[in-house]
Amino acid sequence: MPSSAPASESLGTGLVVAIDGPSGSGKSSTSRGVAARLGLRYLDTGAMYRGITWWMLREGVDVHDPEAVAARAGDPAIVSGTDPLAPTITVEGVDVAEAIRGEDVTGSVSPVSAVPEVRARLVALQREAIAADGGIVVEGRDIGSVVAPDAPVKVFLTADAAARAVRRAAEEGGSDVSATEASLLARDKIDSGRTVSPLVRADGAVHIDTTPHTLDEVIDLVVALVEAVEAPA
């Protein structure tokens, strides 16, 4: 399908597009592409969880001790930029966009994210961002189910584990695909099994398997869902 021109003037100013799914399913690229195409803001909630994990590690907090993590969850100032062409994330004024993609953070983000106090803190920040002026595309694992259950457009992206591993390994500069797949599956188990805000397909979410599609095709599919919701009756 051909690409659409930016259509921000025709979209509702409070429009929320919730895009959930496991790691490697294409959430970030799709969400940024949809936001840029439609002139919407963009929020990467995963970066927020990685940001607070980075801070916990820097502060010497034992990330495998839920009580220790909970006690510090409210401390760091976390600010997310919402420009889909140049998203930013700072923690205590430090640009951590690159640091949060390191192996130490990747290996620690799941236990930190499972702590209820962390989720409550970041969900509050996410809702503040959503409530600001202008429509927004929000990506994560519990956006349609917890953060913005009333979002008019909810999408749940998936992909075959092997395809996800290839994509993530490429993003990480050629990591071992087998090891990456094992890591993704382990995180899936943690994210789907946690007590608070588990990774689930939200009620009313449209499921898109990205495995057979190019990025542009997936963006087109989501844009079509948005335009169908926004079209006059």
* Across 41-50, 107-116, 156-165, 192-201, least confident range: 192-201
**3 falls within a domain:** no
**193 falls within a domain:** yes
Angle formed by the axes of helices 161-171 and 177-193, to 10°? Answer: 110
**113 falls within a domain:** yes
**4 falls within a domain:** no
* Across 3-12, 22-31, 135-144, 209-218, least confident range: 3-12
Tell me, what CATH number does 144's domain have? Answer: 3.40.50.300
* Across 55-59, 172-176, 224-228, least confident range: 172-176
**7 falls within a domain:** no
Compute the distance between CA of residue 171 and CA of residue 56 in angstroms, rounded to an integer.
Answer: 24
Compute how many other C-beta atoms are within 10 angstroms of the C-beta atom of residue 173. Answer: 6
Do residues 23 and 187 touch, judged by C-beta distance below 8 A?
Answer: yes
**2 falls within a domain:** no
**Quick check: 191 pLDDT over 80?**
no
Residues 213, 39, 224: CA angle, nearest 5 degrees: 40
**8 falls within a domain:** no
Compute the distance between CA of residue 1 and CA of residue 61 in angstroms, rounded to an integer.
Answer: 49
Structural domain count, the chain: 1
What pLDDT is stored for residue 230 in this prediction?
Answer: 76
pTM of the model: 0.86
What is the mean predicted confidence (pLDDT) over 204-209? Answer: 95
Largest CA distance in the chain: 55
Kindly indicate the confidence band of residue 180, based on its pLDDT and cuts at 50, 70 and 90.
confident
What pLDDT is stored for residue 232 in this prediction?
Answer: 60
Condensed to tens digits (0 to 9), the pLDDT of residues 141-169 reads 999 999 999 999 999 999 888 888 887 77
Could you list the residue range(s) of the whole structural domain that residue 218 is in?
14-228
